[in-house]
Structure 1
Amino acid sequence: MIFQGTTHLGRVYSTVQSDSSVHHADDYNQFMATFPDIVRDLTLSPEYDDIPDITKWFRKNLEYNVVDGKKYRGLAVVNAYRILSSSKLTSENLKLANILGWCVEMLQAFYLVHDDIIDGSKTRRGRSSWYRFENNGLNAINDGVLLEAGIYFLLRKYFRNKPYYVDITELFHDVGISSAERHKQAKDLLLQIGHYYQIQDDYLDSFGDEKLFGKFKIDIQEGKCTWPIVTALERANSSQRKKLEECYGRNDPDKVQTVKNIYEEIGLPKIYATYEENTYHSTVAQIRLLPNDEFPHDIFLNILNKLYKRKR
């Protein structure tokens, strides 16, 4: 399962996570063992035989942008498969679940490569953003498109003869399920979780540990419309509001610190902690109200539990 959140591309991307309480002990190792097969499929296909430079660069693209993340999204695909298809659990189907999980990771990597260009982010996951790697520049736009194209190559290779091939291909375009009623129920819940994730991400940009966060925190400097500044403006007195207007969106360390100081004065950490607790418990209650046979609770709880009080 997936839930939706927004990026500066103005597109929907999926964020998923698995929980140790139901996560199979060997899933991570099996998932990682599948990645070399993914790379071989995408770089050793006949159409690349005569252009080794492209093959070499695409391999570097995959290894730099796809494999080094936390793998939450891809592993959640495997975990969800175990929960939903326990009676059909075969080694062949597990392999397909792992391949599908890597397709989800590639989709996320595609979004992030382009997102970093648009945001001008210098780092991603503690390293240079791909567009800054080896002076790649705007060539990274094409590299992102190649990552997305690779998804459909893999789907065609491994799922073309499956009865759900069309559905699964459309899923990567639309992120939806077939039943309109079930889709609305799932969408309402997942949008709520996605909203929580976005507020959490905004909060961590100002208050998270930069070493854990894996990228420079730039929301204040770039004047982005985020939860901390919106909440601060709602609660600031006239003096604080004037300082915020003077300092927010300025690439000046002193002004950035002034904004952070006002955040502390207003008590944003406590406000956020209260919001997180209330949101978590109300969302758990909402999950419990869904029919477990149609909406396996573990899938939604896995997502929520990995977000709850995360630091990165």
Structure 2
Amino acid sequence: MSTSKLHRQLLEKIEKGLQDLLLPDDPQTLYQPFRYALDVGGKRIRPLLTCLACGICGGDTEDALPAALAVEILHNFTLVHDDIMDSAETRRGEPSVYKKWNENIAILSGDVMFADAYRQLAAYGQNDAFTKQEYTALHDVFSEAVITVCEGQALDMEFVNRTSVSHNEYIRMIAGKTAALLSASLEMGAIAAHASPQMREELAELGHEMGIAFQIQDDLLDAVADPEKFGKKPGGDIYEGKKTYLTILALERADEDQKRFIQSVLDAQDPTQEEVEKVLSLMGSLNVLDDVAAETDQHYQKALNLLQSFDSSEYQQELKNLLIFLRNRDH
């Protein structure tokens, strides 16, 4: 995705804010992993959304920066703890915090990141430009997102040991793990702009639709994307036995023989390429691939429709460009 001047300016503002965090030098085992987790990088999508939402609502993006930093620190905290739970040795091509140090250090550093994320919001309580109600609203939106993200993670963990998961349950899980923080990022940006309740609600819904679309699209790309662009062979999730939106829908639609075969491939320690290709073929014949593509498109279109209710601005156009880029991505 080519970046605009506005995109670059906002990213520079976010990066500077992260670099300017007043983190102590000592204890080193607490704060070095904190800094490392932030410096490993990332696209900074969530803080970018916070700044864009503020601009869309006519606010000053400087006012959105504490909220933007809060959501980015929180996001990285979740990654530090997720890597422990998943025993993931790398993150963004570098050793994960728990691998570079150890599990106990990663847990404690994650804890202080969580606390520091909340500390960023104190700036609004100390700024007379923000009412007590707005300060409270920022905390409420942020706290609700934290709880929902944890619920989504818990559901994801529960699904591993369950024999069946419905597509509605899966949507609820990704609404927590993926969509909740995107939704909160946009709504907090609106609050930072002193936006109306209706604007807040529309941007929160936009983030929800965006998050759902992105995650089920990711599941779809695993099955249909060009392996050279996507980075792994088609059906990678099937080889790993993962429950995805595609496998869940396929199992719901399959007849008994098809269902037994799909489940046997998902349960296999080392399924063959032929078996995985047959599952992908069944997904096609059961209209799973086409229907998930259409559903993804519907969620992105809902997000774009919500965006159209806001006045035209460079911020609105930037968010529109991002949604269109995500909608058309092929890896």
Q: TM-score range by the shorter chain?
A: 0.5 to 0.7
TM-score normalized with structure 1 length: 0.68
Judging by fraction of residues, say which structure has more helix: 2
In the alignment, residue 43 of structure 1 is paired with which amino acid?
A: P
SS in 2 for 1:248: helix
**Which residue does the alignment assign to 2:78?**
111
SS in 2 for 1:252: coil
Change beyond 3 A, Cα 1:193–1:307: same
SS in 1 for 2:78: helix
**Which residue does the alignment assign to 1:6?**
none
Contact 1:124/1:214 (CA < 8 Å) preserved in 2?
A: no
Whether 2:327 is the aligned partner of 1:305: answer no
Structure 2 runs not aligned, ≥5 long: 145-183
**Which residue does the alignment assign to 2:48?**
75
Contact 1:127/1:214 (CA < 8 Å) preserved in 2?
A: no
Q: CA-to-partner distance for each residue in 1:152-205, whole Å, 9 max, x for gaps?
A: 23333x434123444333332124678777666555554333322231233344
- Choose the corresponding residue for 2:13, options 18, 26, 30: 30
Contact 2:31/2:109 (CA < 8 Å) preserved in 1?
A: no
**Which residue does the alignment assign to 2:209?**
192
Summarize the alignment of residues 5-154 of structure 1 with structure 2, pairs less than 5 Å apart.
23-38=6-21, 41-43=22-24, 48=26, 51-64=27-40, 68-85=41-58, 89=60, 94=62, 96-131=63-98, 133-134=99-100, 136-154=102-120
In the alignment, residue 91 of structure 2 is paired with which amino acid?
A: R
SS in 2 for 1:69: coil
> Within 1, Cα distance between the matches of 2:37 and 2:16?
18
Contact 2:47/2:72 (CA < 8 Å) preserved in 1?
A: yes
Whether 2:139 is the aligned partner of 1:169: answer yes
Change beyond 3 A, Cα 1:37–1:191: closer
Change beyond 3 A, Cα 1:212–1:160: farther
Structure 1 runs not aligned, ≥5 long: 1-17
Change beyond 3 A, Cα 1:152–1:226: same
Moved more, 205-214 or 121-130: 205-214
Deviation for aligned residue 1:76? 1.9
In the alignment, residue 30 of structure 2 is paired with which amino acid?
A: I
SS in 1 for 2:20: helix
Summarize the alignment of residues 193-208 of structure 1 with structure 2, pairs less than 5 Å apart.
193-207=210-224
Deviation for aligned residue 1:102? 2.3
SS in 2 for 1:308: helix
Deviation for aligned residue 1:101? 1.8
Identity %: 28
> Within 2, Cα distance between the matches of 1:193 and 1:208?
20
In the alignment, residue 269 of structure 2 is paired with which amino acid?
A: N
In the alignment, residue 16 of structure 2 is paired with which amino acid?
A: A
TM-score normalized with structure 2 length: 0.64
Contact 1:78/1:97 (CA < 8 Å) preserved in 2?
A: yes
Change beyond 3 A, Cα 1:57–1:197: closer
Deviation for aligned residue 1:109? 1.0
Contact 1:71/1:105 (CA < 8 Å) preserved in 2?
A: yes
Contact 2:81/2:107 (CA < 8 Å) preserved in 1?
A: yes
Q: CA-to-partner distance for each residue in 1:209-248, whole Å, 9 max, x for gaps?
A: 7887689997445644321102222444554332212111
In the alignment, residue 116 of structure 2 is paired with which amino acid?
A: G
- Choose the corresponding residue for 2:124, options 153, 159, 172: 159
Q: CA-to-partner distance for each residue in 1:115-155, whole Å, 9 max, x for gaps?
A: 23333444432334333x22523542222222111112333
Higher relative contact order (CA 8 A, sep 6+): 1
Change beyond 3 A, Cα 1:81–1:249: same
Contact 1:27/1:78 (CA < 8 Å) preserved in 2?
A: yes
Deviation for aligned residue 1:97? 2.9
Deviation for aligned residue 1:287? 4.9
Deviation for aligned residue 1:27? 2.1
**Alignment size in residue pairs:** 273
> Within 2, Cα distance between the matches of 1:139 and 1:251?
33
Q: CA-to-partner distance for each residue in 1:266-297, whole Å, 9 max, x for gaps?
A: 32544443333344335534554x5759xx96
In the alignment, residue 69 of structure 1 is paired with which amino acid?
A: G
